[in-house]
Amino acid sequence: MKVKILGPGCKNCQALEKEVINALAELGVAADVEKVEDMNKIMEHDVLMTPGLVINEKVKVSGRVPKIDEIKKWIEEENS
């Protein structure tokens, strides 16, 4: 599984990264987690507001930090 955290490193981007890592740990799912801070690469995903979360090249959310339960649901969907 490939997970990308999109954002320039702001407080919300850091919060999203922490929640994703916690969700992966709780589910016991291994994933490559990549931080994408380059705005051109962020724009390639059609994300206009950060932070953004991409799982297996599918944008799951942008512009907010989702709750851990939402993140876990998306991970489970993409991991099945």
User: Residue 9 — very low, low, confident or very high, per pLDDT cuts 50/70/90?
Assistant: confident
pLDDT band for 29, please (50, 70, 90 cuts): very high
Active site residue 22: no
> What is the arithmetic mean of pLDDT over 14-24?
97
pTM: predicted TM-score of the whole model, two decimal places: 0.94
Of 6, 13, 16, 61, the active-site residue reads: 13
CATH of the domain at 74: 3.40.30.10
Q: Which is catalytic among the residues 1, 8, 9, 10? A: 10
Q: Which structural domain, as residue segments, surrounds residue 25?
A: 2-79
Q: Specify the number of domains making up the chain.
A: 1
Q: Tell me, what's the pLDDT at 13?
A: 94
What are the helix (H) ranges across the chain? 11-27, 39-43, 68-79
Active site residue 10: yes
Residues 6 or more apart whose CB falls under 8 angstroms from that of 65 comprise 12, 15, 16, 19, 51
